[in-house]
Structure 1
């Protein structure tokens, strides 16, 4: 299985990890994930255009956008819906990710903004967490009204 298929599979599985299996089976919220490559081109006049495309060949340093679409297909609002996405090991969170994004640097055991988190180095000292330390991203949607839908995204860079 190539790296893109593994990343897409991890993203789809991550959405279902947002709640226990029994709750997920009863939830009216559907999740669908994808991965897009960021492609920048320059036309003859020097105008730069950036678009998201289906990834083909990717190499270290390439930018990707991981996305999760959600929709409430039920008749009642859904409150405090949590979507948790593990970052595939082949990528790191991009430095331009939203500063208020809720992340984990310890496999999902603790959460906060990147500025609030630290990691323990091999020598036992503590240091501020960096984008390359992020293992998971998480969103908590306060309320998803019946029929509402949206998209959650985070930027990543191939290691």
Structure 2
């Protein structure tokens, strides 16, 4: 029998801002991706979760907005992966991941995991502990955007 998981959304998404001098607001949401039948055709929809089970596909969305009067520079968003969720992907080209609790960063394909027997293998999505975005350009005053990543309930 599959164990049902109820998530406290506040605990699921706890992104951290790395540059406190900027006045950038960050909000987050998580959605369950479902396939529904609409007018005889399958359609993918995003719904707010109240109950999720292993195998459910999740989409995490982080919205940011510079509330300051000047451009926000050196802005970094780091989001830990909830323990009950395995990372899948991010459509954002600037996203990098960590597989060691945030000590080192890179693309998933560049990271290696050392197994207990000493062998080394390429990192897999389920190894990801954090997702990070570093903004190469300043965020203009009053402007914002959206970051996202996908996961699956373990």
TM over 0.5: yes
Q: Is the 8 A contact 2:7 2:51 kept in 1?
A: no
Within 1, Cα distance between the matches of 2:12 and 2:36?
29
TM value normalised by structure 2: 0.88
Question: Partners in 1 of 2:139 and 2:76 — Cα distance?
Answer: 11
Q: What is the root-mean-square deviation of aligned Cα atoms in Å? A: 1.8
Is 2:107 the partner of 1:113?
A: yes
Correspondent of 1:43 among 35, 38, 43? 38
2: distance between equivalents of 1:98 and 1:133? 18
Of 8, 11, 19, the match for 1:9? 11
Deviation at 1:18, TM superposition (A): 2.7
Unaligned runs of 5+ in 2: none
Provide TM-score, normalisation by structure 1. Answer: 0.85
Corresponding residue for residue 152 of structure 1:
147
Secondary structure at the aligned position of 1:106 is classed as: coil
Q: Deviations over 1:31-88 (max 9, x none)?
A: 111111112102352x111111110221100001111110001111112200000001
| Residues 1-159 of structure 1 mapped to structure 2, 5 A cutoff | 3-5=6-8, 7-11=9-13, 13-14=14-15, 17-19=16-18, 23-24=19-20, 26-45=21-40, 47-94=41-88, 96-98=89-91, 100=93, 101-142=95-136, 143-159=138-154
